[in-house]
Amino acid sequence: MLRRRDHWTVRVQVPRDLRPLIRRREVWRSTLTGDLKEAKLRAAMLRGHIGSLFTHLRKHGPRMSREQIDALTEQYLSARIEEIEERIAVCVPESDEGGRDAWADDLQEEIEDLELALQEGDYRKVQEDARRMLPQGSDSAVAILCRRLLEVRLEVAWLELKGLQGKPLHTSARLATRPAATPKKPTGPLLSKVCADYVETTSTAQQWTEGTKATNETAAAMLVSFLGDKPVSDITKADMTAAYLKLPRFPSNATKKYPGLSPIEALDAADAAKDEDRLHPRTCNIRLQCWKAIFRHAVGTDLIDKSPADHLKAFAEEGSAHSSRDAFTDDQLRAFFGLLRSKQETQPQYVGIPLAMLYAGLRLEEACALRGADIRQEQGVWVFDVNADAGHLKTKNAERLVPIHSAVLPYFLKARDSVEPEANLWGLERGARDRFGHEVSKTLNRRLKKAIPNKPDELVAYSLRHTFATRLKYADVQDHTISELMGHAVEALSVGRYGKKLEVGHLREAVEKLALPVL
């Protein structure tokens, strides 16, 4: 890599046998970052894409036309991060809270596995891909490529997790290659046909749910209505800019408000009625991502040379993914626990489990699975020992020690002394899918609705765990400490049971900063 101005730039040599096809001796691309570590990861991603391109060209290049080679080059050089953007933009709004948490937990588990593979030099996950990219490569060259591919997968997983948490994705720019001579544009199929092909092929390949397919069909119909059903090759950047400017003006719930009207007619009707209820920026971005994907599909199938939508930027959204989850206020906590304590004598689990979620950030299933033996001392500190012996854990990082807050320690010590060490702390039995918490979750949410009749939809039993994290942030506890307490993957920390760098005493200091009303 070379330093150019404020950014690192990567250079890839084109193999001699492919230079007549690619018509270049080397390929240059800016990583768009001045951070060397970040630049190395992006460079590894680039080399992986280009390596795949070279292999494909060796196999099919002699039989491909100039236009096909150019289209394939563009396809391979498109950053994988665009795929993450599309997946997050389309799937997140359709996912409920539990689905997003499961998605995040799956990513955290994948991050752990990749970190462990890098740590142990286990290349089985990527060895087949590396051999395909370097069919004639030496063992050492393949091993180097394997490690780079693991690093690329790890970086992509972290980016997807950050995107899921509402953080911006750092998208690299496309490689600036020497433009080929622009061939004469064919008339090509109509936009409606391209949209239908995109939805049909992609929904099959990615196994979309019915909801995801319907969302993309709606976005495609809006695009056709805004642009007119003309040949896809006739659509220009100016056309797409005009459609882009219409998006935030489009009325929400248009099919209900303006039944029977096309999208462009509904827009005109909303303007005439001075309807102020327009699409949320998040919904606009879902539509925009679908539009971009349609034109990428057209490029990949050689219908057009370049997408007319690439220059369009995402609409700014206020807040983050976390803002869509409500944390409890003090008054809400008092109302909820006031109702729960009214039945404490006969149903102690409906007090103890919420307390463990609120004061220790335990997941509901983790709190439900606690045994007497899981409340113990570690280095003189009373802790919850969250482990797989007690019950199902979502990720490897979920296996952890969480200090028990002094405000609730007497309650949990009393509960511990009332059961056998290996017995469930609440007398619960495993139910569906070998879990403890299914019925507990439903009951807690019913009681929450009863305690707070006008509560927002985003306030659910799981919000107790979210409140734990939110209150610690208010107390200026560092993010990596909160992640450690909640059982999330912590970047740059070692993997393994209790293998974190943070001492139990440090964790106790963080937990004791939790400020909550007397419950």
Strand order in the sheet with 381-386: 375-378, 381-386, 400-403
**462 phi, psi to nearest 5 deg:** -60, -20
Would you give the distance in Å from CA 39 to the centre of its chain?
22
pTM to 2 decimal places:
0.44
Question: Do the beta carbons of residue 344 and residue 351 sit within 8 Å?
Answer: yes
Give residue 347's pLDDT.
Answer: 83
Q: How far apart are the first and last CA of the chain?
A: 58
Give residue 73's pLDDT.
Answer: 40
Give residue 133's pLDDT.
Answer: 59
Q: Is 166 left (phi over 0), alpha (psi -120 to 50) or beta?
A: left
Tokens of 32: 């768009």
CA gap 75, 54 in Å, rounded? 13
Give residue 325's pLDDT.
Answer: 57
CA gap 236, 229 in Å, rounded? 13
Give residue 36's pLDDT.
Answer: 77
Domains and CATH numbers, the chain: 2-164 (no CATH), 191-319 (1.10.150.130), 325-511 (1.10.443.10)
CA gap 287, 219 in Å, rounded? 5
| pLDDT tens-digit profile, the chain (519 residues) | 677 656 677 777 777 766 665 566 676 666 656 777 767 766 776 666 666 666 655 555 454 444 544 444 444 334 455 556 655 665 666 556 666 666 676 777 777 777 778 877 888 877 876 676 556 656 766 676 677 777 777 777 777 777 766 666 554 433 333 344 444 444 678 999 999 999 999 888 887 777 788 899 999 999 999 999 999 999 999 899 989 999 999 998 888 888 889 999 999 888 888 888 899 888 899 999 999 999 999 999 889 989 999 988 888 765 444 444 578 999 999 999 999 988 777 788 899 999 999 999 999 999 999 999 999 999 999 999 999 888 777 677 788 999 999 999 999 999 999 999 999 999 998 886 678 888 899 999 999 999 999 888 889 999 999 999 999 998 999 988 998 999 886 654 444 444 446 889 999 999 999 989 877
142-172: string of b/e by CB count within 10 Å (b at 16+)?
beebbbbbbbbbbbbbbbbbbbbeeeeebeb
